[in-house]
Structure 1
Amino acid sequence: MDRFQAMKVFMGVVEANSFTRAADNLGLPRATVTNTIQGLENHLKVRLLNRTTRSVSLTADGAAYYERCARILAELEETEAAFQDAARRPQGRLRVDVAGPVGRDILIPNLCEFHSRYPDVELVIGMGDRPVDLVQEAVDCVIRAGELVDSTLVARRIGSLSFVTCGSAEYLERYGEPTTLEELQQHRAVHYFSSVSGRNFDWDFLVDGVSMPVRMEGSIAVNDSDAYITCGLKNFGLIQPARFMALPHLESGALKEILPQWKPSPVPMSVLYPQNRHLSPKVRAFADWAAELFARCPLLSGCNGAGLPAGECRYPDRKPSYTVRDMLVDDNAALTG
């Protein structure tokens, strides 16, 4: 017995609610449909369908078997489609959503490379860091920072965002430089708050490989990374921004790194897409290209940027400045869109 064919015939009878209509829909003789169902029931040693002269209905065992058949056949079709798609050249409209600075400073300057490699893909790039409903807004994938919390999405890691604890030279001269985590309690900090929940984010340090949150006091809170850096430069308190945002100011001396022996925890950067469909060739192509792009940039591949000129990302034959501004993780909301 061809069990996959038997499953298809069984599902056809259930969905048509008739042996005759199922035979017509499947292009099979009615006798073949009847014999297939009988053979399936004999093989399983259970009754799947109740038959009368006027109707067909599922038994309890039949209902359970139907659900499993539907799941198995759907997975089989998606698996076959994935391999068939892999053989095709990526093409069609691809809608991507990224944080504004990532789009402006990383993706857009390198789009010629992507277009040369995949000329049949039409890229539509939305820039922002708001939560996005990928299904409702017809977005194919997003690039976000943070841990995945939405179980309906799949995350492909493409890089890592590092942070730095620092203060302005004037602030540290006035209030002194902390040398231990405990001494931070004697200092003020600029708070960064979530645009979604409204709460301030605690600071974070890696101590012996374990993340340790530290609650800081402060008199000002913002939810924009440019404003966050500016407040630090204007002596409102210590800050903990993304390292590649702070690099120009660190190297000019306007900001100074403190507590370098305790680094803030790095944050993964990922391409996210819905898990309920197989990965299309165009999304796979974009994710592969983005991973290559980020790997060529030390500041976005987990390195701390030591030894790099301010903002430099060292792509071959060009030296774009990476002053990415809005990459602080906004609670977990960034990963739901």
Structure 2
Amino acid sequence: MDRLTPLRAFLAVADTGSFTAAARKLGVSRSAVTGHIQELERHLGTQLLNRTTRRVWLTREGQRYADRAGRLLGGLEALDAEMQSRSGRTEGHLHVEMAESVANARVIPRLPEFVRAYPDVSLRISLNEGVVDPTVSGADIGLRVGPLRDSTLRFKLLGRGNYIMAASPGYLQLYPPPRHPDELRQHRLIEFWDPDTGRPYDWQLVKGKQTASLPAQGHLIVDNTRAGLTCALAGLGIYEDLDFLLAQSLAEKRLIQVLPDWKRPGPPIAALYTARRPVPPHVKAFVDFLASVFGTGRS
């Protein structure tokens, strides 16, 4: 039997506690994962997993097998990475999960550079407007916009933008541009939904050492940056987003910056990837590509 494919399926289920999550992590169907586990259990002659309709957990033998098999597979992957590094080859399959807005604005337009440089690397790209988390999605690399909380992953800080505000020329013809954050109360605001609090984010503005706070109005709320930008271009109000996400619309004069002296630091933008050493060459190559996209150094 093919020993590695069922083993990877088993370890994915052991790691995620779910056949569905394991299938997502491996990029295969749930039925394929189930088949691989059954094949492995038949081969070993023992039950590795307990299953109910609500949860999956390791048997005692399954835990022993997962511990030792995980070390063996990790060693094999490290050996493969070492040999590829020595041979100068960069190949393999790469699953990259990215924040949708940043991917479309910064990474995907530059992707042909990576494809030309590494033709033997196959790519699977997943876009996520929520929190990018490779430990959940099973991605090899995650491009996250937001706090860095993963202790099991390495990361490379790629950059950090500033939040700025803008509105369409048509909107600003109807409503004179505000001269101070307090005047935003007389405007229509396009606000962003905070899934953690179940309400839109409040507006927090910074000018040097000055700060201004404005409670969310709730007149128009979006939970997707593309939707927010589209609303702003349609003249529905003042919108706040990262400067590089609004740069093209500002350059084309489809949006005009509002209160340009007031802005606030955006969240970190980072590449999250495996902590094992050596880092597989195709993973390192893509992290270095991301660093070049954002103007930072090599990993």
- TM-score of the superposition, structure 1-length normalised? 0.54
Contact persistence 2:98–2:132 (CA under 8 A): no
Is 1:186 aligned to 2:186, yes or no?
yes
Q: Please give the alpha-carbon distance, in whole angstroms, between the structure 1 residues aligned to 2:108 and 2:145.
A: 19
Q: List aligned pairs for 1:118-267, cutoff 5 A.
A: 118-131=118-131, 133-135=133-135, 137-195=137-195, 198-208=198-208, 213-267=213-267
SS class of match (1:217): coil
User: Which protein is richer in strand relative to its size?
Assistant: 2
What is the CA distance between 1:287 and its match in structure 2? 0.5
Q: Please give the alpha-carbon distance, in whole angstroms, between the structure 1 residues aligned to 2:284 and 2:131.
A: 22
Cross-structure match for 2:32: none
Inter-CA distance 189–93: structure 2 relative to 1 (3 Å threshold): same
Q: Please give the alpha-carbon distance, in whole angstroms, between the structure 2 residues aligned to 1:167 and 1:274.
A: 41
Q: Please give the alpha-carbon distance, in whole angstroms, between the structure 2 residues aligned to 1:217 and 1:170.
A: 21
Cross-structure match for 1:97: 97
The one-letter amino acid paired with 1:143 is: L
The one-letter amino acid paired with 2:147 is: E
Contact persistence 1:177–1:258 (CA under 8 A): yes
- More displaced 10-residue stretch of structure 1: 167-176 or 255-264: 167-176
Cross-structure match for 2:281: 281
Q: Please give the alpha-carbon distance, in whole angstroms, between the structure 1 residues aligned to 2:104 and 2:246.
A: 18
Q: Please give the alpha-carbon distance, in whole angstroms, between the structure 2 residues aligned to 1:136 and 1:83.
A: 26
Contact persistence 1:166–1:239 (CA under 8 A): yes
Superposed structure 1 runs of 4+ greater than 6 Å apart:
80-85
**RMSD over equivalenced CA pairs, Å:** 3.6
What is the CA distance between 1:195 and its match in structure 2? 4.9
The one-letter amino acid paired with 1:204 is: Q
Q: Please give the alpha-carbon distance, in whole angstroms, between the structure 2 residues aligned to 1:209 and 1:94.
A: 44
Cross-structure match for 1:306: none
Inter-CA distance 212–94: structure 2 relative to 1 (3 Å threshold): farther
Q: List aligned pairs for 1:101-120, cutoff 5 A.
A: 102-103=102-103, 106-120=106-120
What runs of 5+ residues in structure 1 fail to find an aligned partner? 1-76, 296-300, 302-337
Q: List aligned pairs for 1:67-82, cutoff 5 A.
A: none
SS class of match (1:239): strand
Deviations along 1:230-263, whole A, 9 cap, x unmatched? 3334443321123344344434544321211122
What is the CA distance between 1:139 and its match in structure 2? 1.2
Inter-CA distance 233–282: structure 2 relative to 1 (3 Å threshold): closer
Contact persistence 2:133–2:142 (CA under 8 A): no
Inter-CA distance 215–83: structure 2 relative to 1 (3 Å threshold): farther
The one-letter amino acid paired with 1:139 is: A
Q: Please give the alpha-carbon distance, in whole angstroms, between the structure 2 residues aligned to 1:276 and 1:213.
A: 43
What is the CA distance between 1:192 and its match in structure 2? 1.0
What is the CA distance between 1:118 and its match in structure 2? 3.0
Cross-structure match for 1:45: none
- TM-score of the superposition, structure 2-length normalised? 0.60
What is the CA distance between 1:106 and its match in structure 2? 4.6
What is the CA distance between 1:143 and its match in structure 2? 0.9
Q: Please give the alpha-carbon distance, in whole angstroms, between the structure 1 residues aligned to 2:210 and 2:154.
A: 26
